[in-house]
Structure 1
Amino acid sequence: MVDIFAALHNSEERQITFAVFQLEGAARSWWNVIRTKWEREQTPRTWVNFVREFNAKYFLPLIQEKKEDEFIRFRQGTQSVAEYESQFTRLAKFAPELIMTEQRRVRRFIQGLNVEIQKDLAVTQINTFSDVVDKALRAENARLQVRNFQVRKRGFFGGSSTQGDKSTPPKFGRGAGRGRVPGTARGTPPRGGQKGRGQQRSASQGSSATVSRGPCGFCGKPNHTEDNCWRKEKKCLRCGSTEHQIASCPVQP
């Protein structure tokens, strides 16, 4: 309502008439009592007198003190600078003595800003309230751009690292891809004249011992089938002979 009065340049008499027109119910009854009182005491019908009477009824000192404390404790927090300025202006009217001058208003506004923005404003020349709001908005925007650049930079290098890891083939233990004859040490040929159990079985079954087949349907062991299973054919499990069993095998392990 005050903003409307300022825009229309209304007289104080018209301001009071317009304000009273908005009152309803108990508020209208309250005004009828005040109007009678003014007529009896010959109180001037000014806007200042109306606001004083209105605040005495509907804006008690306790409520005003709470609003003033809220303004003193008010900080930017997670709000943007624009949101902080709007709330600051709304609460400032409840503590006019704290912002009586432009310098005090500017100082109070800066005190409520986040610390990082306060640091940016510490090295700038500020004369008016509009000036401090503009510089705070610019500082916030600059910090936001730096933060977005750092996020994009981390994402770029993080993606490159991932691609580099994918281009490196995995390794599966020592000696991966190298085959050797079972039962022998690395780089050591088998002893002459003696065939190990694994070598004899591989030769008789016609395949390399490193190739996995089976399991056998008779004994359940791998690397052979039921058709050439030594256990099924009752052969020696060490040398493959049908003349004796492994317990009496003359071939030394």
Structure 2
Amino acid sequence: MTVDQYEAEFARLSKFVPRMVEHPVDKARRFWEGLKADIRTQLISANLRTYEDIYDRAQALERDQVDRAAASGSRFAQNRDNRRFGKKQMTGNRRFVPPIKRNIGKSNQQPNRFGACFKCGSLEHQIRNCP
């Protein structure tokens, strides 16, 4: 979720627990704690105290990350739509397994079988004894 999306959700949920965010310091701390770890880490050195300052700085950091990723051609650039490329989003801890290539360009030869001759495809001998 982007910083703007997070802020909107934070504001929406804050209405249900007003006592947790009624003090400005508590509101700022709770907002900071919910940010993405990389943005949160960069905000530590800024020593920001108010909710508005943290929100503004988080937006700027996120824009900078997106701009740098786009400039470097990174595949991690945000707003990239993988559906354009016919890709499905990965779920769980699965890895990409390339498809098996099936004798491309070898139409006149039989497919190789385990223990068969690589030259003629016979099961009676191997390539070193191929007639």
TM-score (norm 1): 0.28
The structure 1 segments of at least 4 consecutive aligned residues displaced by more than 3 Å after TM superposition are none
Provide the C-alpha distance between the structure 2 equivalents of 1:86 and 1:145, rounded to a whole number of angstroms. Answer: 23
2:29 aligns with: 107
TM-superposition CA deviations, 1:16-68 (whole Å, max 9, x none): xxxxxxxxxxxxxxxxxxxxxxxxxxxxxxxxxxxxxxxxxxxxxxxxxxxxx
Displacement, 1:125?
Answer: 2.5
Pairs aligned (count) = 74
TM-superposition CA deviations, 1:96-127 (whole Å, max 9, x none): 12112111101100111111110111110312
1:88 aligns with: 10
Partner SS for 1:104: helix
The amino acid across from 1:129 in the alignment is: Y
User: Equivalent of 2:71, from 146, 149, 162?
Assistant: 149
Partner SS for 1:124: coil
TM-superposition CA deviations, 1:78-98 (whole Å, max 9, x none): x11111101100110111121
State yes or no: 1:124 paired with 2:46: yes
Provide the C-alpha distance between the structure 2 equivalents of 1:107 and 1:125, rounded to a whole number of angstroms. Answer: 11
Provide the C-alpha distance between the structure 2 equivalents of 1:103 and 1:117, rounded to a whole number of angstroms. Answer: 19
TM-superposition CA deviations, 1:146-198 (whole Å, max 9, x none): 1112217xxxxxxxxxxxxxxxxxxxxxxxxxxxxxxxxxxxxxxxxxxxxxx
Partner SS for 1:151: coil
1:55 aligns with: none
5 Å-filtered alignment, 1:51-70, equals none
Identity %: 28
| Larger RCO of the pair (alpha carbons < 8 Å, separation 6+) | 2
1:74 aligns with: none
Partner SS for 1:82: helix
User: Equivalent of 1:98, from 11, 16, 20?
Assistant: 20
The amino acid across from 1:135 in the alignment is: R
Provide the C-alpha distance between the structure 1 equivalents of 2:10 and 2:22, rounded to a whole number of angstroms. Answer: 15
Runs of at least 5 residues in structure 1 that lack an aligned partner in the other structure? 1-78, 153-253
